[in-house]
Amino acid sequence: MKKQYIIPIFVPHLGCPQNCTFCNQKKISGQEKQVTGEDVKKTVNDYLESFKEEAYIEIAFFGGSFTGIPVEKQEELLEAAYEFVKEGKVNSIRLSTRPDYIDKDVLKRLKKYKVGTIELGVQSSNDYILKNCKRGHTFEDVKKASKMIRWHGFNLGHQMMVGLPESTRIDELNTAKDCAKLKPKIVRIYPVLVIKGTKLEEDFNKNLYEPLTVDQAVEICKELYNFFEKKHIKVIRMGLQNTDSISKPGSEQSEVVAGPYHEAFRTISRI
Ligand code: SF4
């Protein structure tokens, strides 16, 4: 089977209408500058030079809310990425966005640039939990967006979180079941970490939020992983990975204040 390579392009906080209480994309991606089409070209070329074997290659726009950024900017970034698809150097484009930023016009635009996969930040299917962490959308938005994405022929991805404020194991299992009904092809599971500069950090410092321990996060992620496996839904990520520019809590340069951070989170969650 062909190897798969992802060329990540971080689009931090562009297009976000508000700050979700747990999120500080600039800290997670380690990047505060606006991305341009030229940046996209340079990043992709650098990655392509480093790939030594034949592989299925995807350009992935992560972070922020891609379809919420000004249309001109979306087109500038997509155009730059699409050039590589047209030249046959890259196989596909994927991106992540908010469920309330999907409509027919958006999907038409993404089709034009041959985007293959759209990942939605679901986080929870419990509207109280969503409201509490200031997501600014409901699970109904996730349902609508998921159906439209699949109907228009894109691969659907869902991203969910464990350990959100007031979320319980039952809420998280229910979120997995509710997501599965919408038939995503892939899922990412993120245990909540307390990141510097977030509202969650303030709450943590006031003892209003207690993060999961690594053991608790591993236990629930294992359960969710097995659930999705049984449903034939691929879990492509659990926890932040080493390439996300955060480092171990406690170290001087770390952006993580607290929470279930583990360098090998995915591996230990699948044991
Ligand atoms: S979680 Fe997503 S929608 Fe919320 S602030 Fe971060 S990037 Fe924006």
Compute, in angstroms, the gap from residue 254 CA to the centroid of ligand 1.
20
Tell me, using a 6 A CB cutoff, whether residue 121 lines ligand 1: yes
- Sequence-distant (6+) residues with CB within 8 A of 95 are 60, 61, 62, 66, 67, 110, 115, 117, 118, 119
CA distance 46 to 9: 12
* Mean pLDDT value of segment 18-32: 69
pLDDT at position 12 is 72
- The mean pLDDT value of the chain amounts to 90
- Determine the Cα–Cα distance for residues 144 and 100; give it in Å rounded to an integer: 9
| Tokens matching residue 269 | 């969650």
Average pLDDT over residues 115-124: 97
Whole-number pLDDT of residue 5? 94
Radius of gyration of the chain (CA): 18
Could you give the number of structural domains in the chain? 1
**At 171, is the pLDDT very low, low, confident or very high (cuts 50, 70, 90)?**
very high
Domain encompassing residue 109: 3-269
- Provide mean pLDDT across the span 123-138: 96
Supply φ then ψ for residue 72, to 5 degrees.
-60, -40
**More confident of the two residues 38 and 13:** 38
Tell me how far the alpha carbon of residue 226 lies from the centroid of ligand 1, in angstroms.
27
The string of pLDDT tens digits covering residues 155-169 is 999 999 999 999 999
Work out the average pLDDT over 83-109.
Answer: 96
Please name the amino acid found at residue 55: A
CB atoms within 10 A of CB 144: 15
pLDDT at 242: 44
Contact between residue 143 and residue 169 where contact means Cβ atoms under 8 Å apart: no
Return the structure tokens found at 74: 């979306």
Q: Is the pLDDT of residue 250 over 60?
A: no
Q: What is the pLDDT of residues 51-87, one digit of tens each?
A: 988 899 999 998 778 999 889 999 999 999 999 999 9
- Among protein residues, the one whose CA lies closest to atom 7 of ligand 1: 64
Scan for tokens 């969910």, then name that residue. 160
| CATH number of the domain enclosing 163 | 3.20.20.70
Ligand 1 nearest atom to the CA of residue 23, by list position: 6
pLDDT digits (tens, 9 = 90+) for 187-219: 999 999 999 989 999 999 999 999 999 999 999
d(CA 13, ligand 1 centre) in Å: 7
Q: What is the pLDDT of residue 32?
A: 57
d(C-alpha 72, C-alpha 27), whole Å: 25
CB 19 within 8 A of CB 134: yes
Q: Ligand 1: which atom is nearest the Cα of residue 64?
A: 7
pLDDT at 185 over 50: yes
Q: Which ligand 1 atom sits closest to the C-alpha of 19?
A: 5
Three-state DSSP state, 144: helix
**pTM tops 0.95:** no
β partners of residue 56: 4
